A and B are shown apart, each in its own frame.
Chain A
Amino acid sequence: MYSRALPYLLILPSLFLAAVVIFWPVYDLVQISTHDVSRFGQLRDFIGLANFAALADDPDFMAALWRTGLWTLSVVAGALVLSIPVAMILNSDFYGRSVARVIILLPWAVSLTMTAVVWRWALNGESGMLNSALMGLGIIDQNIQWLASASTAFPMQVLIGVLVTVPFTVTIFLGGLSSIPDDLYEAAALEGASGWQQFRTITLPLLKPFINIAIVLNMIYVFNSFPIIWVMTQGGPANSTDILVTYLYKLAFRVGKLGEASAVSLVMFAILLVFTMIYVRLAMREREA
């Protein structure tokens, strides 16, 4: 009896912390999202799921939902594809490797907002660096208005998203690569395996758990990423680059619909919960293996 209660007693403090940090705010959000609420957060009548229904009817919300999916998938996939070769190069032995590693990882230390601000300047149509560089190289003969429409703004935002996600992903992969013993490659080389064959049959399978973790962690992180899109276009023009977080911010603090905004954040919470569950399962399987 005593010994059965002990584990629960031991996790009680962290459970309490989790309750304060997670459960209480979520409870609060559920309260706000199911009530008619003033712009300063005073709850009025209970209105059930009306806020969620209003969202489902809002084409801007649905568009933002799909765009969030596209944004998350393309940034995570792009970062993954770019990070594997970068990590492999940084893992191989060459002169000045530690300097190269620092250069790749340094952008991680710069605040995301600052990165986005710099890019906003660089993409300015009339005085931006990118246009003058392209002009100087003779690639374009007329300024491109990068941020004027979603067709150019959103791909640029995805590209920047990829660039800022690479350092973190490379770090994970470097850890994975250093855990692969060198003698596997030596044996394979002795049997006459080509570089591509070594990559496919040794590197990729052994790196798989790390790739999984990178995917899930990046998914959560990119899904919630606010600064890049907010600083560059504020989700505009005409909501055409909105993702859920930017849409939520506008809904809550511009328009003052705290009820609907809370509903959006619950939807986001639900989506992320699924990802977290996948993450926990991956981590468990990792430990069993």
Chain B
Amino acid sequence: MKLARWTAGLLAGLSMLAMAAQAYAGEVRVTVAEYSSKTGPYFEEVKKEFEAANPGTTLKFEVVPWDVLLQKLTTDITAGTNADLSIIGTRWLIDFVQQGVAEPLDEYMTPDFKGRFIETFLSPSIMEGKTYGLPIAASARAMYYNKELFEKAGIANPPSTWTELQEDARKIKAAGAFGYGIQGKEIETDVYYYYAMWSFGTEILNKDGSSGLSTPGALEAAKLYKSMIDEGLTQPGVTSMNREDVMALFKQGKVGMMITAPFMMNQIKEEAPSLKYGVAAIPAGPTGARGTYGVTDSIIMFKNSKNKEEAWKLLDFLFSTEQRAKFTQNEGLLPVNKEEAKMDYYTKDAGLAAFTALLPEARFAPVIPGWEEIAQITSDAVQKIYLGQGEPEATLKDAAAKANGVLKK
């Protein structure tokens, strides 16, 4: 029995368990991703406020860690026991739309409601002319640099090109720290490589829709990172470090430069308040091209929801300026709401301003089915290159062929 529980029960057992959960009238169930330890308490408060204002409606929030969110949704949907609303990564949205799981929201949205959003962040959730999700969280990436290490190494300004970044990394290495932190493990390993790739003029997908990995720009970027690893300009053991590991090194003052999300500012405030750091744009390539990674998470309504009216009321409540500001500032994200973006909190903060300045150059994960698989293929390829297990050119060509195979499906 033990045997079957492990192998076969993986998919089937979960669905049996879930049968017990039934929807009650007037109850809105919401699956929310856990951004930080503040996420749960925030939604607890939402529950209190919303239920007080809307007697007869009860809210039930399920807070799920990001790592297992997609797995939970997959099993829930398979068993037909999904919640009414859920936060998802916008990059997954196309799968939900194609499978007919997500409900279009346009008939609920008034022009006034639509006008609340910053266009850049709402557009990734619009597919085939219909809005399937609302951007509940938005983020972008920029370069953090350690001012103290820069001073020690005799560098005046943060690098504006990758060549300068390489130079600066050498100087920081000479000063006894790691120059540029590279993430080489787990989620977003591929994205860390795209930062360089975009600067060399390559996009994830070529204009004809094929994978960009076999272009010269992709090769340049791979060679750049590989040469920096070989020269010892990065932290050692790149492929054993996930994003949080590199961020930990930066907070300890061991890494001169790294690219990551705005929420690290909140973390530094709490964990390393004495760290002197700055936020700058992502370095540009030889032609001046550069790109940052833009991410939005969407909250979607499921087609099989039985309480759509109440669910919409909750969405309306969540996207009020006041609620948005609370959530965004808690989690260290970027504002998605126009009114919210005008608040002093965002305009007066140099770090956040640096992030918002990069937004026009933000690339979002391409909206294609099978995107997760392509991300996985790319991560595997760059790991091989970082480890020296494959020649950059051959490895990238191989990965491009695999990615094209996925794209053709």
Contact = CB atoms under 8 A, between A and B. Distances in A.
Given A25-B12, A256-B74, A147 B240 contact: yes
Interface of A: 18, 21-22, 24-26, 28-29, 32, 38-42, 124-127, 143, 145-149, 153, 220, 224, 233-234, 236-240, 248, 250, 252-258, 262, 265-266, 268-269, 272-273, 276
Contacts of B341: none
Contacts of B63: none
B389 interface: yes
Contact of A149 (B1, B8, B239, B241): B239
Interface stretch (B107-115, B206-214, B230-238): B230-238
B376 A254 contact: yes
B384 interface: yes
Interface in B1-21: 1-13
Given A21-B1, A126-B249, A253-B74, A40 B376 contact: no
Nearest to A30: B8
A123 B1 CA distance: 35
B173 interface: no
A177 to B, nearest CB: 26
A148 B99 contact: no
Nearest to B4: A22
Given A146-B240, A224-B6, 12 more contacts: A22-B4, A24-B12, A26-B8, A39-B74, A40-B74, A147-B240, A233-B185, A236-B186, A238-B380, A238-B387, A258-B74, A262-B11
Interface of B: 1-13, 70-71, 74, 77-78, 95, 99, 101, 184-186, 235-241, 245, 248-249, 252, 254, 370, 372-373, 376, 379-381, 383-384, 386-387, 389
19 contacts: A21-B1, A29-B12, A39-B74, A39-B99, A124-B245, A125-B237, A125-B240, A143-B236, A148-B184, A153-B240, A233-B185, A236-B186, A237-B185, A237-B384, A252-B71, A254-B70, A254-B372, A269-B3, A269-B4
Contacts of A124: 240, 245
A256 B372 contact: yes
B253 to A, nearest CB: 12
Given A41-B74, A42-B99, A269 B7 contact: yes
A224 B7 contact: yes
Given A236-B185, A237-B184, A253 B71 contact: yes
A239 B185 CA distance: 11
Contacts of A153: 240
Closest 9 CB pairs of A and B: A145-B237, A41-B78, A25-B8, A25-B12, A148-B237, A147-B240, A148-B240, A237-B383, A237-B239
A24 B1 CA distance: 12
A276 B383 contact: no
Contacts of A276: 3
A275 B7 CA distance: 14
A28 B12 CA distance: 7
A141 to B, nearest CB: 14
Contact of B3 (A125, A220, A236): A220
**Central interface residue in A29, A236, A266, A268, by most chain B CB within 10 Å:** A236
A272 B9 CA distance: 14
Given A18-B1, A143-B236, A253-B70, A234 B11 contact: no
B11 A41 contact: yes
A259 B11 CA distance: 12
A125 B236 contact: yes
Contacts of B184: 148, 237
Contacts of A21: 1, 4-5, 9
A236 B74 contact: no
A149 B380 CA distance: 13
Contacts of B239: 147-149, 236-237
A126 B381 CA distance: 25
Contacts of B4: 21-22, 25-26, 269
B258 to A, nearest CB: 14
Contacts of A38: 99
